[in-house]
Amino acid sequence: MRHISARPEQSSFPNTLTERHPLFSYAGRCAADLWLQGAPLSMADFRDLRFRCLVSGDTSFAGDPARRQAFDDAFARQIASSIASRSRVEGRRHA
């Protein structure tokens, strides 16, 4: 029989990459914020550089595609979120 938790929003196993690798997701969001502040590299080059710096001390992380995907997804989501929120603010100013 399947166990149904009293609090279904708290699953026993992490479902998303963000839940399984919160450090890498957090680092991806921070990297996106830094890039948005005016990094002199392209978005992809900056993202890749920040990931390499993050895993430089431990080579076991570098070859882990799930951690890389968590970082990349968080980076992209943060960029998109920032663009959307800035668009809303600009839209309100012109309305």
Task: Tell whether 7 is covered by a domain.
Answer: no
Confidence band, pLDDT 50/70/90 cuts, at residue 14: low
pLDDT tens column, 30-88 = 999 999 999 899 999 999 999 999 999 887 776 889 999 999 999 999 999 999 988 87
The residue among 24, 22, 6 whose CA lies nearest residue 14 is: 22
Task: Tell whether 4 is covered by a domain.
Answer: no
pLDDT of residue 60: 79
pLDDT of residue 95: 60
Task: Tell whether 73 is covered by a domain.
Answer: yes
Containing domain of residue 23, as a range? 17-94
Q: Please report where in the chains the tokens 């279904």 appear, as a residue.
A: 8
Task: Tell whether 75 is covered by a domain.
Answer: yes
Task: Tell whether 3 is covered by a domain.
Answer: no
Instruction: From residue 11, give the alpha-carbon distance in Å to each of 21, 48, 70, 95.
Output: 15, 32, 19, 43
Task: Tell whether 88 is covered by a domain.
Answer: yes
What global pTM score does this model have? 0.76
Q: DSSP E strands: which ranges in the chain?
A: none
The tally of domains found in the chain comes to 1
Tokens (6 digits) for 84: 């959307």
Task: Tell whether 12 is covered by a domain.
Answer: no
Task: Tell whether 9 is covered by a domain.
Answer: no
Instruction: From residue 13, give the alpha-carbon distance in Å to each of 20, 64, 81, 90.
Output: 8, 19, 27, 40
